[in-house]
Amino acid sequence: MDILETLFGNEKFVLTWDMAVVVAVYLAVFLYTFSVNIKKLYMFILSIYAGFALIFLFPFWNEITGLSFGFSRQFISLILFLGFVFLINFALSGSVFGISFPRFKNKSIFQISLLGTAASGFLTSLIFSDIFGVFDGNLSTLTKQFFARDTAQFVWAMAPVVAVFISRRISKT
């Protein structure tokens, strides 16, 4: 029995455009992951959480929707979320707030890959979530199964936290 048939039942496995989005997000985050140190990677993960919280608190929806240049409100909110992530990451990376994270003397490829996978998965699950509603359920079964369902989104939201604990545990040994 094929593993894809086990996961998805009788539905046919087809690669679609949304898988290209998943691959693009993963590649972008992995390139970023391997080009920065662990401290900046922690700040990136923190900025994803903070951007997610700020998107719900943003008070200027009516003004932004009026200046949307024909884009939907959902698309504007997704762009605004990504902008928040970028700005918060930029602010934290400049040590504006003086946040300190533990330093790792021996950062292994496993630790970086673990944190990169967790950050990529969390960001991807937020992009495909119903919160923004940009993709309207027109997703492949693979993307729905691993990124868009409520359980998957919860798992990806907890993945960076678990990855930090695992990487700290590895660095102590």
Cα–Cα distance, 20 to 25 (Å, whole number): 9
Residue 96: its pLDDT value, please? 47
Burial of 159 (0-12, 13-18, 19+ CB in 10 A): buried
Residue 103: its pLDDT value, please? 53
- Per-residue pLDDT of the chain (173 residues), as tens digits, is 455 555 555 555 556 777 778 888 888 887 877 777 777 888 888 888 888 888 877 777 667 766 767 777 777 788 888 888 888 888 877 654 545 555 545 567 788 888 888 888 888 888 887 766 666 667 777 788 888 888 888 888 888 888 888 887 777 66
Residue pair 142/17 in contact by the 8 Å Cβ criterion? no
- pTM (predicted TM-score): 0.65
